[in-house]
Amino acid sequence: MRVDIGEIVMSGPLFVEGLLRLIGAFYVFAGLVALRAAVFGGFLDRALATLSAKPVPRAERLRRHWLTAAPIPIALGGAALLLLWQGALVFFIVNALGQALYLGLVAPRWLDPDDPPEPAGRRSTWWAFAVYLAATLAVLSAAQTGVLLPLDAIPPAALGGIGFGLVVAFGFLLRPLLARPSPALEPAEATPPPAHLILTPGWRGTGLVDAADGRPWEYWAMTDHVPDELQDRLRAWCQLFADHADPDDPWRAALRDPAAQEAITAMGAELLADLAPGLPGIAIDFVPVARPVASRWPDASRVTLRPRSLSWPLQIPAPEEGDEQREREFDPADFGLSHSLAEDLMAWNIAYEEAIPDLETGSEPVWSDEARAAFNAEGQALATRLRRELDATGQDRVAVETVLP
């Protein structure tokens, strides 16, 4: 009788256990990678929302919550399978049901109409779901044949080691989300409203400006003073201005069609009538025509255009901090630049970040010679636009320095 050793090995329990552990290790890795991508994507969403002064759309925000939460139980299920623990079956079934509910009902009904996904991305998601279903069936078969073990049969060292590793990994990846908000951004106590406000539209801000310092009265600061419904109307008013404003105006005030000013003025007047009763004792000036936006740093001698990871691509000297060579990053929208240039600068900087394999370690971007040349050519074009807009707003004395990779 002929015995096929290979067949015995391939069908034996050691092979099955090894295959299950390999699947588990894959989903631990996949879950951590997906979690890292979701957290970083959330950072970019917040950065773009800050730049455009538009809140992240509800559908996009909910999708980001799902993309951040879903990888965690996937990684946990992978770890359970890596240990051959019976609990892996629960994780895989719950994860499969959750993905089915998201792809089959939640996304197409409530998210996709307002935030349609890329067709290629959605197809890859369905393929990943199909692979996960196959893995779930494999785990179910392993549970029925007794391959998976009860918790008390798993070596404590293996359980503790993998558990500790996951806690460290989750803590590192979720650190940006778990950090306590800065008191400067989200105060624990309600702040009193400014004594004098200006109701005026603009590309950025909330439509309400503190007359004392010219800075927007932020939504978080007005939460205890202005109802949500009025905050939504302020957003809609600013959006009305943005829909008709000239994105190439370096003063950020011109309209593409001056006739649109009538509708902006009428909507602002209605807002003023409803805001004033809720802010007794607060002077509110109504300026329906957008005010020109000047640089917050009129004494800056130069501006440096340099791509940087997790940062703005523009810097100015900061000699007040004790070092003549030190530079301070700043939002392009605070330097008297057009909305279109500010957005293009941010998109250029994001392209730099996307070329970096690992943002946490600050590694250099990985490009082909052609890609690097194209990126630097775009940087030179942005520097030319920057020079032109500085000249147009009376900042011709400001030198433009370009530092390209």
pLDDT digits (tens, 9 = 90+) for 281-317: 999 999 999 999 888 888 888 999 999 887 889 988 8
Long-range pairs for 71-74: beta carbons < 8 A, 24 or more residues apart: 71/30, 71/31, 71/32, 71/33, 71/34, 71/35, 71/38, 72/31, 72/35, 72/170, 73/31, 73/98, 74/27, 74/30, 74/31, 74/34
Model pLDDT, residue 44 = 72
- 148, 142 contact by CB (below 8 A): yes
Q: What is the mean pLDDT of residues 192-202?
A: 94
Choice between 343 and 4, residue whose per-residue pLDDT is larger: 343
Res. 8: pLDDT tops 50: no
Confidence of residue 1 (pLDDT cuts 50, 70, 90): very low
Q: What is the mean pLDDT of residues 45-74?
A: 76
At 368-388, the pLDDT tens digits run 999 999 999 999 999 999 999
Confidence of residue 225 (pLDDT cuts 50, 70, 90): very high
Average pLDDT score over the chain: 85
* One-letter identity of residue 25: A
Model pLDDT, residue 177 = 67
pTM here?
0.54
Confidence of residue 56 (pLDDT cuts 50, 70, 90): low
Instruction: Quickly list H helices, 261-307.
Output: 261-275
* The two structure tokens encoding residue 146: 């007794």
Which residue is it, tokens 């003023």? 272
Model pLDDT, residue 298 = 84
- 310, 359 contact by CB (below 8 A): yes
Confidence of residue 273 (pLDDT cuts 50, 70, 90): very high
Count other C-beta atoms under 10 Å from residue 377's C-beta.
11
Confidence of residue 111 (pLDDT cuts 50, 70, 90): confident
- 309, 353 contact by CB (below 8 A): yes
- 89, 148 contact by CB (below 8 A): yes
* The two structure tokens encoding residue 398: 């400001």
At 22-38, the pLDDT tens digits run 999 999 999 999 988 88
